[in-house]
Amino acid sequence: MRHKTNAFLLAAILLTAAGPLPAAAQDTSILKPPKGSKVALVVFEDLQCPDCRRAASLLQDAVKAYKIPLVRYDFPLPQHNWAFDAHVMARWFDTKSKHTGNEFREYVFEHQPQITRDNLRGYAERFAAQRKLSLPFLVDPTGALAAKVKADSNLGKRTGVSHTPTIYVVSETTTGKPFVEVVDRSQLFALIDEMKRAAR
């Protein structure tokens, strides 16, 4: 009996360490445009990730050029020492307006090379002051905002996300694959064009 228990525990440990779910087990149900949109971009991002910073301006260019929504999910990586706190702060700014929250995310990307764990709050306070907002001493006293960040991260893992940024072009098409991951960002606009054609 003990032998079977040990074998079960070993199997559970190996499954936990295996990383992303195999394609057959992934839940891709969230990879679709918001209601009322035929095509959209979806990104799982880490505010401390340098590659996310590089991708941010390209995503904004695509949103403006195609007039499509950008759906953002929090995916702070454990090796980044201030990312989780930055995502929680972004969630606080979301409570003022989604636009303000996204502006804060872009502000963090803009100043990312200068931000540290020690000065992150100072940057957030300056951003708040510029918008006549007062950042509370305790940004998330109940843990509700942190729970939302963790929920996004868990959603990403169920979707098969293992790195940042993970970017998808998604559509409401029923005749082809409803989403495609953007592996080569130089192909982003071409993929959007293809998805727009399929969605028509």
How far CA 187 is from CA of 5, 12, 41, 104, in Å, comes to 49, 39, 13, 27
Single pTM value for the model: 0.85
CB atoms within 10 A of CB 82: 20
44-69 tens-digit pLDDT: 999 999 999 999 999 999 999 999 99
Sign of CA dihedral 110, 113, 114, 120: positive
Domains and CATH numbers, the chain: 26-199 (3.40.30.10)
Q: Which two tokens stand for residue 139?
A: 């940004």
pLDDT digits (tens, 9 = 90+) for 130-142: 999 999 999 999 9
Pairing mode of beta strands 70-74, 166-171: unpaired
Q: What is the pLDDT of residue 199?
A: 82
Predicted confidence (pLDDT) per residue in 163-197, tens digit: 999 999 999 976 778 999 999 999 999 999 999 98
SS3 169: strand
Per-residue pLDDT tens for 77-109? Answer: 999 999 999 999 999 999 999 999 999 999 999
In Å, what is the CA distance from 105 to each residue of 70, 85, 101? 13, 12, 6
- Distance (Å, rounded) from C-alpha 44 to C-alpha 73? 5
Cross-strand pairs, 45: 74
Q: What pLDDT, on the 0 to 100 scale, is given for residue 173?
A: 79
> Tokens 């940004």 map to which residue?
139
The predicted structure's pLDDT at residue 25 = 64
Q: Given a cut of 80, is residue 70 above it in pLDDT?
A: yes
Cβ within 8 Å of residue 15, ≥6 positions away = none
Tell me the pLDDT tens digit for each residue of 2-43. Answer: 444 344 333 333 333 334 445 546 889 899 999 999 999 999
The number of angstroms, rounded, from the C-alpha of 155 to the middle of its chain's C-alpha atoms is: 10
